[in-house]
């Protein structure tokens, strides 16, 4: 029928299609769903109760071995959760497609019955005599029409059957044939997917198994597109997405989480706890996917993902802000959004946008995440109800060739990043429990330019009440009040020796000469002149003219120290050890108490 050689459904008839009991498929799907849920609950119990309990109370070799064993068991259950969840959606999706074709078939059969046509076992349709012969006026003889699965593929003969029933019979026969063909096709596709959803032998869950699970998820996603994905409201507002999620049944939520953790985990407006759960699964699948590759880019991202995974598995000590994975992805230079403290329940939420040279690598996973973690810990000393986020939701410019790249990057990355950041902040406004939360946008380096761009887009940054600019080469506007939060809610940190805060306007810049010979960092030597309020991307935010509130920052090491060139002064604003004044001020602002920050003289 479908003509596909070896297709499992090549012998399918319309009567067989009509008799398929889709409810049984759905019951089987529910069964797999229950197994998946139970595995998830057991994994939670192992990782949330057994492991911490064992680590806190027992020391020595035997408990260490037990911890290793429990870890492996937890991984086993996570794998069971993922694969059983995929099985469930595969079966539901198959039932969905078969039911669709059953409806098409039933429509054709109903039409045939109404017209008193007979549908034969092979799908052809027999019709009675009707109409009037041109010659003798007698009714024209009846006949049989055979269906064509793809009518468009068969060229018309040019001859028109004179019996008026013939056309109707042909249409019915075509619909029957199409339904059978489509159902056979679905059967063939799902058979292949179900066969591939198999685990390796043994109890270990090696790397190859996760790589395989990533491929399984991709295959099921592809097949279930019509069944699940079309309903994910990508084009809706964050508030509408939140409402969509709230309106789903538990079963529907479980299926979305199992099949599209990447979509749900990165969807702005979805509750933080849900995004975190989805992204923790997605992280495993992403690591599996990248482990299957051997290029340098994949290796770099994989190292970052492993470090994030390590941090997520640590049992927090009292006082450590808990970690939520709000976004993760391997597109572009990589994506990662991590919150320290729950951003939905906290009254004060700050999001830090990193800048030049930031990408999903190990340095990011250690250094940039630490900035949010340190700031969150200090903010929670001020107000327990505080959370701080590192937001790598855009491709920041990279500078393999020193600051030349900044000139090349221009503002396009900031504009694109600003749009993504506004989407994320709109999601926070929707998912946060408080009526008027204190939302702070923190931009460092080129990230401050990104925050600047976000403020200039329609409506500004959703919900934001305060803006912090540190190590800024200019933000694209000349006055603090142009950022849309009121000039006394714009805070600026600029270290005396931070050369990025002194990059002259690009038209004055000469990137060449002696400094260039010192390498990427050396090219800064040529650039740094100071003394002028016109920076690379506009007025120096630390200047009197700009009009923000400047807070104190440690000078940092000079650009040219004995025997070396360093831009470390650009990188210590968040560091409670190296610059406690600046870090303490950022924490006060993040805790919604910016007006308690000690103000410093502008430049």
- Residues 373, 314: contact at Cβ < 8 Å? no
Per rule CB under 8 A, count of chain residues that contact other proteins: 26
Which two tokens mark 293?
């590759």
| Residue 580 near other proteins by CB under 8 A | yes
State the minimum distance, in angstroms, from the CB of residue 37 to other proteins. Answer: 25
180, 554, 567, 574: which one binds other proteins (CB under 8 A): 554
**Region 44-63 residues binding other proteins, contact defined as CB under 8 A:** 56
Answer for which of 294, 317, 458, 507 binds other proteins (CB under 8 A) is: 317
Identity of the residue, 508 or 598, whose beta carbon is nearer to other proteins in the bound complex? 598
Question: Quick one: 316 or 410, whose CB is closer to other proteins?
Answer: 316
Going by the DSSP 8-state scheme, the letter that residue 250 receives in this structure is H
Q: Note the maximum CA span of the chain.
A: 114
Checking DSSP bridges between strand 335-340 and strand 348-353, what pairing results, if any? Answer: unpaired
- Report the residue number, 447 or 556, with the smaller CB distance to other proteins: 556
Is residue 217 within 8 Å of 110, Cβ to Cβ? no
Using the minimum distance from each CB to other proteins, give the nearer residue, 276 or 330.
276
**What are the φ/ψ torsions at residue 386 (nearest 5 degrees)?**
-135, 145
Q: Considering the complex, what minimum distance in angstroms separates the CB of residue 509 from other proteins?
A: 32
- In the bound complex, what is the minimum distance in angstroms from residue 381's beta carbon to other proteins? 4
Kindly state the smallest distance separating residue 568's Cβ from other proteins, in Å: 10
Distance between CA 85 and CA 33 in Å, rounded? 6
Which of 26, 30, 383, 488 forms a contact with other proteins (CB under 8 A)? Answer: 383
How is residue 122 written in tokens? 């092979």
Among residues 31, 142, 552, 558, the one that binds other proteins under rule CB under 8 A: 552
Figure out which of the listed residues 584, 586, 602, 603 binds other proteins, where binding follows CB under 8 A.
Answer: 584
> Other C-beta atoms within 10 Å of 480: how many?
24
Q: Does 323 bind other proteins (CB under 8 A)?
A: no
Nearest to 366 by CA among 304, 316, 324, 296: 304
Of the residues 88, 189, 275, 380, which one makes contact with other proteins according to CB under 8 A: 380
Interface with other proteins (CB under 8 A), residue from 64, 132, 544, 596: 596
- Which is nearer to other proteins, 325 or 451 (by Cβ)? 325
Q: Find the shortest distance in angstroms from Cβ 552 to other proteins.
A: 5
Element containing residue 326 per DSSP (H, E): strand 323-329
**384 part of the interface to other proteins, by CB under 8 A:** yes
Counting contacts by CB under 8 A, is residue 13 touching other proteins?
no
Single residue of 318, 400, 435, 562 touching other proteins by CB under 8 A: 318
Q: Which ranges of 115-249 would DSSP assign to H, the alpha helix?
A: 164-196, 207-223, 238-247
CA 286, CA 19: separation in Å to the nearest integer? 41
Q: Report if residue 592 touches other proteins, rule: CB under 8 A.
A: no
For residue 469, what is the enclosing H or E element? strand 464-470
Ranges of beta strands (E only) in 471-587 are: 490-493, 534-535, 538-539, 549-551, 560-561, 564-565
Q: Which of residues 461-480 bind other proteins (CB under 8 A)?
A: none
């Amino acid at each position: 029928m479908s003509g596909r050689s070896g297709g499992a459904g090549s012998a399918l008839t319309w009567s067989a299609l009509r008799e398929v009991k889709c409810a049984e498929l759905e019951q089987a799907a529910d069964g797999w769903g229950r197994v998946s849920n139970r595995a998830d609950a057991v994994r939670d119990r192992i990782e949330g109760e057994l492991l911490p309990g064992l680590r806190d109370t027992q020391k020595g070799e035997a408990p260490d071995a037990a911890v290793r064993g429990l870890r492996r068991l937890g991984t086993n259950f996570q794998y069971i959760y993922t694969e059983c969840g995929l099985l469930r959606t595969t079966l539901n999706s198959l039932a969905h497609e078969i039911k669709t074709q059953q409806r098409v078939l039933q429509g054709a059969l109903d039409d045939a019955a109404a017209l008193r046509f007979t549908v034969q076992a092979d799908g052809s349709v027999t019709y009675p005599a009707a109409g009037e012969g041109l010659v003798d006026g007698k009714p024209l003889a009846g006949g049989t029409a055979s269906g064509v699965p793809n009518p468009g593929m068969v060229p018309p003969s040019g001859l028109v059957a004179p019996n008026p029933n013939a056309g109707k019979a042909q249409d019915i026969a075509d619909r029957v044939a199409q339904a059978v063909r489509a159902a056979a096709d679905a059967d063939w596709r799902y058979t292949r997917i179900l066969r591939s959803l198999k685990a390796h032998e043994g109890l270990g869950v090696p790397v190859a198994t996760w790589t395989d699970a990533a491929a399984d998820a991709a295959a099921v996603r592809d097949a279930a597109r019509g069944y699940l994905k079309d309903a994910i409201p990508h084009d809706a507002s964050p508030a509408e997405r939140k409402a969509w999620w709230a309106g789903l049944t538990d079963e529907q939520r479980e299926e979305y989480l199992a099949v599209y953790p990447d979509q749900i985990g990165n969807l702005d407006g979805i509750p933080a706890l849900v995004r975190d759960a989805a992204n923790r699964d997605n992280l495993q699948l992403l690591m599996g996917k990248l482990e299957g590759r051997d290029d340098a880019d994949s290796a770099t991202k994989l190292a970052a993902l492993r470090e994030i995974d390590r941090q997520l598995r640590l049992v927090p000590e009292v006082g450590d802000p808990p970690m939520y994975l709000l976004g993760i992805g391997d597109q572009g230079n990589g994506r990662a959004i991590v919150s320290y403290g729950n951003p939905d329940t906290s009254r004060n939420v700050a999001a830090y946008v990193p800048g030049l040279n930031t990408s999903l690598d190990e340095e990011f996973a250690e250094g940039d995440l630490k900035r949010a973690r340190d700031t969150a810990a200090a903010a929670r000393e001020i107000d327990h109800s505080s959370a701080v986020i590192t937001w790598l939701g855009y491709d920041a410019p990279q500078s393999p060739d020193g600051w030349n790249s900044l000139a090349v990057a221009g503002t396009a990355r900031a504009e694109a990043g600003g749009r993504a950041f506004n989407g994320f902040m709109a999601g926070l406004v929707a998912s946060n429990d408080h009526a008027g939360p204190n939302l702070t946008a923190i931009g460092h380096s080129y990230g401050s330019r990104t925050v600047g761009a976000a403020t200039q887009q329609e409506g500004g940054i959703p919900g934001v009440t305060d803006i912090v600019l540190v190590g800024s080469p200019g933000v694209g506007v000349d006055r603090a009040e142009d950022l849309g939060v009121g000039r006394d809610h714009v805070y600026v940190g600029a270290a005396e020796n931070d050369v990025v805060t002194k990059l002259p306007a690009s038209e004055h810049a000469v990137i060449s000469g002696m400094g260039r010979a010192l390498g990427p960092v050396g090219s800064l030597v040529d650039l740094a002149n100071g003394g002028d309020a016109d920076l690379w991307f506009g007025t120096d935010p630390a200047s009197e003219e700009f009009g923000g509130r400047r807070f104190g920052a440690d000078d940092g090491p000079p650009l040219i120290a004995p025997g070396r060139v360093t831009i470390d002064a650009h990188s210590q604003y968040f560091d409670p050890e190296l610059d406690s004044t600046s870090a303490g001020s950022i924490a006060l602002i993040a805790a919604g108490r910016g007006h308690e920050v000690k103000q410093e003289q502008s430049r």
